[in-house]
Amino acid sequence: MATISSSVTEHSPSSPHPPYSIFRRRAQGNGKDEGEEDSRVEMKLSQPESEESLMSGLSSDVTTLVLQQPRNFRKAVFYLTLTSLLIFTTAFLLGYVAFRSSCNYCGDTDDELVPVDDRADLDYSSEGGRMHLGELRDMLRKYLKEEKIESTVRRMSRETHPPGSSEGNALASEILQNFRKLRMDHTWTDSHYATLQFPSRMQRNSLVIVDANGELLEDIPLGNPLDYCAYSGTGTATGGIVYVNYGRKEDFDLLRSLRVSVGGAVAVARVGGGVSFAEKVWHAQQAGLGGVLIYPDPADVPQDPRRLGLYSSAAISEHVHLGSGDPFTPGFPSFNHTQFPPTQSSGLPLIPAQPISANVASKLLSQLTGPECPRGWQGRLPYVHCALGPELSSGEGRRVRMGVYNTMRPVLLNNIFASIEGKIEPDQYIIVGAQRDSWGPGAAKAGVGTAILMELARTFSAMVENGFYPRRSLLFASWDAGDFGSVGATEWLEGYLSMLHLKAVAYFSLDRAVLGDDNLAAYTSPLLADLIEGVIKQVEHPKHSGHTIYSYTESLENSWRFHIVKPLYLNSGAYSFTAFGGVPAMELRFTEDVRPYPFVNTHFDTLERLQEMLQGRVGVLGRSVGELVGLMVLRLAHDHILPLDVTCYSDTALHLSSQLNKFSSELQARGLSPQWVFSARGDYHRAAETLREAILNSDVQDERMTRLYNTRIMRVEYYFLSQYVSVVETPFRHVLHGRGEHTLSALTEHLSLLRSNPRLFDEARFRRQLALLTWTLQGAANALSGDVWNIDNTF
């Protein structure tokens, strides 16, 4: 039997429902102890009572409840808190275990890759499974090993390995096998038959002094018969000697102003000056000289073997083709199954060229008479009183005769490739490459670059095995015949040019990546400059610990861009990708402040000498370059929108406009107006800004819009390839980075004649230059705008 302990009755006068009561019963009997409560609650309808009775009953019931509530409330709170804590702890532990099991990288692993079978467990379609960029950066740093770089350099530079040699072919096979061991998605060989030039096996190149009748007076030994200039003109050249400093265009202009007779003479030029051997020979040929001898001056190249210098008896070799690729198939590939009509590059020199040592140069220049050298032309050759020539002392009519007898022969070249396919946009490629061949051991020239290439391939392969899903594909390329002017790389570009401008996002060259440890230089397309700024803030300077490359460079005078960002140059492994292929490209390099590494392109370029210069830190420097390139590749492979700065060329166009403004009065006097250029520049600037703002305001998860934006971004560099010049006659068609009459540099140089020498200004030629350059810029603006209905031009 239960008795009523308390009751609450509620009823609203306006409610249509009858009043109700809630009763709590105290148990009596049924086996329950006295005082033990039954938790049952019973609701019953009740008849209305008077207001007074209701109020008095309510007060009594509430008093009873309040007295009994604290004990139950504290117990409930205790159990509720304990249960919540238990649930939270269990959920946390389950989440942690699940995360650890899905992230192979997070555990403590050794240097070995996770077994390949684990790859089957990865869900490439799961967006949530992908790692954040910060995690990927940490992963890249974890797997990149300096020890592996050093061991690869040692293996790569054991001996000379020119293209077509048994040593070179053995290295190509080794690299292909190493790529295959990494279990890349694809590995393959791309082969070409190219025409290369080598020293003759029948007749050595020679240098002699003869009298007025051509009779031999003195034979001057040239030293190592393997020192030569590939693609030199062959035959003999006889004449006086003219010292031409570095052989730059301004050097020949100065000789002309000094009225030095150079026609038919043999030029003696020193290495360096910011121009390649090919440019020195080209300028000499244009000036009417008959041959060129090129030597390393102690003022430019250290020559004390006791202090890691070049021997004074050593020469430096380099090709002299003013171009890249096979000069006998300009603009098209050297595939063995193609039958093209015979032709040759306009950049092949017609005059002979030969490298000589400082000792030979000293012997020749010490006999020169004629005007004294201009200020700044003096080198540090012993026993030389700097004169320009062309006469030799000690006898009237004495001349030099040089003979070059190099021979051409076809060589099978093998470019080795490996790739990791992108998971979302596999038809967009980020390419990393390095020259493999070398005339000498090539530790700095080819060994370091190849070692970094292999280490980056291994690192990215390991990252994929451990959860990295690259959005775009990664290509790793080992090029053949780099010493002959990037022949292997250029032939590949020529073979696939029609598709690469639609697929290649960027190219990174690793050639000559470590020539010192003081300063970083990035020879680059401006489109990639912003990428550099991001990564140099994340990578520690290899020589100045505690500082990033950015913070150290900013501590110097001028900005980091002034010290690091450099224009692409002709002999760069990246140059042909941009100037010929229209692909943004970059070549990174650590260099020395005071004493540059002197052994590149010599038979003394060994790992031991490179280690001596870097105090045993080749691996450290190589890893730093690998980290810089790897982080940029990571951004390009990871980001939805390609991080390329399409607005960068607006500044270049603005500079052109300002140059034209300076000559506005002279142009107007000739009936020339730069208004069209100003209009094209404005259109490009607006198109670039419109695209940038559209990207900022778009949903990057929209794959269709992302694809459209990236297509426009990828083609920006290609838009600046002039469509109005022949790719056969003018392969470097880029109007900003290329070479030829169509370029911005040619136009501004011609423009300067309006004041320096108006008689040489050719109005018809200038009109053509201005028109073609302007329309290329306008075409780039139109293409960047997107669809034709977004273009509003007045023609």
Taking the CA atoms of 353, 357, 360 and 366 in sequence, report the sign of the dihedral they define: positive
Beta-strand relationship, 235-239 and 216-219:
unpaired
Closest CA to 614 of 512, 511, 513, 515: 515
Cis peptide before 390 (omega within 30 of 0): yes
Q: What is the pLDDT of residue 332?
A: 83
Closest CA to 512 of 586, 446, 576: 446
Q: What is the pLDDT of residue 558?
A: 87
Q: What is the pLDDT of residue 211?
A: 92
Closest CA to 423 of 462, 459, 468, 461: 468
Q: What is the pLDDT of residue 82?
A: 72
Residue type, 328: F
Q: What is the pLDDT of residue 47?
A: 44
Closest CA to 448 of 148, 144, 112: 148
Which residues does 779 contact at the CB level (< 8 Å), separation at least 6? Answer: 719, 723
The DSSP code for 259 is T
As a whole number of angstroms, the distance between CA 200 and CA 203 comes to 6
Neighbours of 641 (CB within 10 A): 14
Would you list the DSSP string of 52-119?
A: HHHHHHHHHHHHHHHHHHHHHHHHHHHHHHHHHHHHHHHHHHHHHHHHHHH-GGGS---SSPPPGGGG
As a whole number of angstroms, the distance between CA 444 and CA 569 comes to 19
As a whole number of angstroms, the distance between CA 606 and CA 186 comes to 33
Which residues does 592 contact at the CB level (< 8 Å), separation at least 6? Answer: 515, 516, 517, 518, 519, 613
Q: What is the pLDDT of residue 45?
A: 41
Residue numbers of the chain with a pLDDT score lower than 70: 1-78, 91-130, 336-342, 394-395, 787-795
pLDDT tens for each residue of 121-146:
333 333 445 688 999 999 999 999 99
Tokens read off for 436: 């493999």
Beta-strand relationship, 241-243 and 266-270:
parallel
**CA 212 → CA 238, 241, 370, 555, 703, distances in Å?**
10, 14, 18, 61, 77
198, β-bridge pairs: 407
Would the pTM of this model clear 0.85, i.e. be above it? Answer: no
Torsion of CA 222, 226, 231, 233, to 10 degrees: 30
Closest CA to 142 of 99, 105, 172: 105
**377 φψ region: left (φ > 0), alpha (ψ -120 to 50), beta (else):** alpha
Q: What is the pLDDT of residue 671?
A: 86
Planar angle of CA 464, 467, 470, nearest 5 degrees: 55
Q: What is the pLDDT of residue 787?
A: 67
